[in-house]
Amino acid sequence: MHYRKKATCEGRVEPSDIPREYCDTYVVRKPMGARLHKSDCRFTHIDGNSALIGKIFVGDIIVALDGQIIKSIGELFQKLREPTQKVAVKIRHGMWSWCQHRCTTLERIQMDKDTEKVTGRPIDLYYIVIQMCSAPESSSVQLGLHVKYDARERLQVHNVDYASIAAVHLRPGDVIREVNDKPVASKTMLKYYITEAVVKGRQIRFLVECPSGEAYRDASDMAPDVAEIAMKQIEFLKKNQQNSALQSVYSSERAKKSVSIATRECSEVEIAADFDPTKLRPCKNAK
């Protein structure tokens, strides 16, 4: 689950700018095919054939149904018993990632203690906030971030695990400058600050640097309903393309005309000029 926000700002991101929660609303058919915890309406299990697959995850909490705020499991069951085929489910996600573009600047190289060199290479600074889930069912979920040292001994993202929360906004090659608004220079410091953030509030904040002009950074995410409509349209086009017969490039109206073969045998007619030169007709300027 992720947000994306782009802005040009030189100052530090204020805590008020960071969203406190991330909510989504989905219209699904009954039954939903999931198990909920009785205390806080938290998803503890989602069936493999459920309509919520890919939209809702373990640890997410139901906030409202059809616009009605749900405060207890009794209200939830009473709302689901209503004679309707579909229900609008508002979810508060337990795990999400938020990204904000800070500014575009020029790369600087620290030559010594008091000297910096500007290379002229444009770079983008991004502020990334990752909220880990606090549900007991998600206690084993990993961040999925692997780092290494680059040629200038900076912390660089080496790889991110597939489908992990770190893979939403972090990419291989990104340089990690700060963690939780504190500069980092080693893997030990990175591990310590991440562990400290997870223990305190399960929220990790990164300041990363990457080359300017990368296409995937400027891409905007579509709303869930727009993405669903687009996928249906793609499937419709694929089905029609498979069912339609391919036409030959040689086919034409002339090729479809019937051809008839004569029944009588062919006959040869001799030309008199072939064996008698006197039969040739006079031709002007002939030699």
Mean pLDDT (the chain) is 81
How far CA 190 is from CA of 179, 187, 224, in Å, comes to 7, 5, 34
* Homologous superfamily in CATH for domain 96-217: PDZ domain (2.30.42.10)
Q: List, for residues 180-232, the tens digit of each pLDDT value.
A: 999 998 999 999 999 999 998 889 999 999 887 665 555 555 666 777 888 88
Domain pair 21-92 / 96-217, same fold? yes
Q: List, for residues 129-160, the tens digit of each pLDDT value.
A: 999 988 888 888 889 999 999 888 889 999 99
Q: Give the model's confidence band at 66: pLDDT under 50 very low, under 70 low, under 90 confident, else very high.
A: confident
Cα(159)–Cα(166) distance, integer angstroms: 10
* Pairing mode, strands 203-211 and 116-131: antiparallel
32 vs 246, residue with greater confidence? 32
Half-sphere exposure of 36 (CA within 13 A, CB side): 20
Architecture, CATH, for domain 21-92: Roll (2.30)
Q: List, for residues 72-87, the tens digit of each pLDDT value.
A: 888 888 888 888 888 8
Model pTM?
0.65
Rg value, the chain, Cα: 35
pLDDT of residue 252: 61
Q: What are the residue ranges spanned by the domains of the chain?
A: 21-92, 96-217
Which residues are CB-neighbours of 130 under 8 A, at least 6 positions away? 96, 97, 98, 143, 165, 166, 168, 203, 204, 205, 206
